[in-house]
Amino acid sequence: MQYNAVPLQKLIEQFERMPGIGRKTAQRIAFYILGLPENESKAIADAINDACKKIHKCSVCCNLTEDELCPICKNDKRDHSVVCVVEDSQSLIAIEKTKEFSGVYHVLHGAISPLDGIGPEQLTIKELIARLGSDEIKEVIIATDSDIEGEATAMYLSKLIKPFNIKITRIAFGLPVGTDIQYADEVTLSRAIEGRRNM
C-alpha cells in the first residue's frame, strides 16, 4: 500500500537514489523539506538548478568551475609545468587541502571501468593529450585512486603519455600514516615494501 501522497513519494524516491542515502534517511529528508518555510524549500530547488546551470568544466583542466577557467588554471603563481591527473573534483580538493602541491590539475571525471561501460573516450583523456601537445608540461603526476579502475587508468595513461617524453610519476602507495604494520593488509604492505626509499 502507498502510505504517502504521490508528490511526497516522488520526493522520497529522488533522495533514495542519491549516494549514501537509504530509505529512512530519504524519508526523513523529504519530511524535513516539507516542514520548511516555502522560501527555504524553494532555495534548495534553486540551488540545484543554479549549480547545474552555472557549473561546467574548466576549458583547460576540466575541473568544475563557474568561469571559463577554474581558479587554479587562472592562478599565475601555480606551476603550470606540473600536471596532477585526478579522477574527480573531490580528489582535487583532497590534494589541495594538503597544501603540498603547487602545480595544476587535470580532472578525468571518472576512471576506466569496462564493466560499467566507461572507456577512455568517456573520460577527458583527449583534453589531457591536447594539453601535453601544446603546453610546456614537464611532469605528469598520476593521482588516480588505488583501486582496480584507478590502476588501470594509470597504466593506460602512462602508455599514452610515454611518446611525449614527459616525466610521468604515480603517487606513492604504502602504509597510511599512523597505522600499525601488523594490521595493514597484505597488498598495501607489499606496495609499501616495493616502494621503499633510501633514508
- Residues of this chain that bind a second copy (CB under 8 A): 1, 3-8, 10-11, 14, 18-21, 25, 27-36, 38, 41-55, 64-66, 70, 88-90, 92-93, 96-97, 109
> CA separation (Å) from 121 to 53, 99, 125?
24, 31, 7
Comparison of 38 and 185: residue with beta carbon closer to a second copy: 38
User: Which of 131, 61, 56 shows the shortest CA–CA distance to 96?
Assistant: 61
Here the cell at position 92 is 582535487
CB of 14 to a second copy, least distance (A): 5
Comparison of 30 and 83: residue with beta carbon closer to a second copy: 30
Comparison of 3 and 183: residue with beta carbon closer to a second copy: 3
CB of 62 to a second copy, least distance (A): 13
CB of 43 to a second copy, least distance (A): 7
What whole-number distance in Å separates Cα of residue 104 and Cα of residue 78?
A: 7
| Dihedral sign, Cα of residue 180, residue 181, residue 183, residue 189 | positive
